[in-house]
Chain A
Amino acid sequence: DSGVTQTPKHLITATGQRVTLRCSPRSGDLSVYWYQQSLDQGLQFLIHYYNGEERAKGNILERFSAQQFPDLHSELNLSSLELGDSALYFCASSVAPLGGTEAFFGQGTRLTVV
C-alpha cells in the first residue's frame, strides 16, 4: 500500500459528460502529480501541484483541470469527455517538488467513456 488513495477505482460515463477524480496523497506529502496512461500514449504527465499551487503543466487538455485543496487532496476534472479520454488516470505524491524525491502512486482510476 503506497498510502495514496484514489477514488473511484472505476468509472464508466458517456461522451460529453464531466467527471471528477479524487486523490488523497500520503500523509505529509505536499506534491501531487496527475498522469494519464493509455496503450498508445504511454504514461503522460498532466499536471503537478505543490502545497496548493500549480507548479508544472504537461500534456493536459483545456477540457481538463485540476486543483489541490488546503487539506492537500487533489481533484482532476475532466469535461466534454471523448472516447479517446478512456484511460487509466494515476495520481502520485511526493514530499517535495524540487531536487527530486521518489513518487508514490495510487492504484489509479480506470475511466471508460462510451
Chain B
Amino acid sequence: SQQGEEDPQALSIQEGENATMNCSYKTSINNLQWYRQNSGRGLVHLILIRSNEREKHSGRLRVTLDTSKKSSSLLITASRAADTASYFCATGNSGGSNYKLTFGKGTLLTVNP
C-alpha cells in the first residue's frame, strides 16, 4: 500500500516559475525523502529530511516537514525545462529491525520553456 500521497498529480508551469508539490502520509516516520524520476529511468535522490527537522534546503530545493499534520512540501524555485520529471516522496519507517522505504504515486511536473 502507498504510504505517501503526492498532490497535485500533475503540475504544468512556465520556466522561471516556482513549483510546489505536497506529500501527505499516514503513519509515524523516521524520515521523509524526495526523489525525481525522468521518464522510464531510475529514481534519483534529491533530499532527505529527518522527523526532528522542519525545513531543509539544497540548491533550488526547499523541503518542509510538519509531523503534526503528517505532511511535507517540496518547493523548486526558478524552475527550468530540465526539471521536467516525476517527483516522489518516500517515507522511511522503522518498525523494530524492519525498515521500509515507501513511495507515493508521484507528481508529474512539466516545465514549459
Contacts and interface: CB of A to CB of B under 8 A. Distances in A.
B102 A98 contact: no
The main secondary structure of chain B at its interface with chain A is strand
B103 A35 contact: yes
A98 B45 contact: no
Contacts of A42: 2, 103-106
A101 B44 contact: no
Interface residues of B, number: 28
B33 interface: yes
A50 B105 CA distance: 26
Interface residues of A, number: 30
Contacts of B12: none
Contacts of B40: 88, 108, 110
Given A90-B43, A105-B42, A98 B1 contact: no
Q: Top 3 nearest A-B pairs by Cβ distance?
A: A100-B92, A100-B31, A105-B42
Interface of B: 1-2, 30-31, 33, 35, 40-45, 48, 50, 88, 90, 92, 94, 97-106
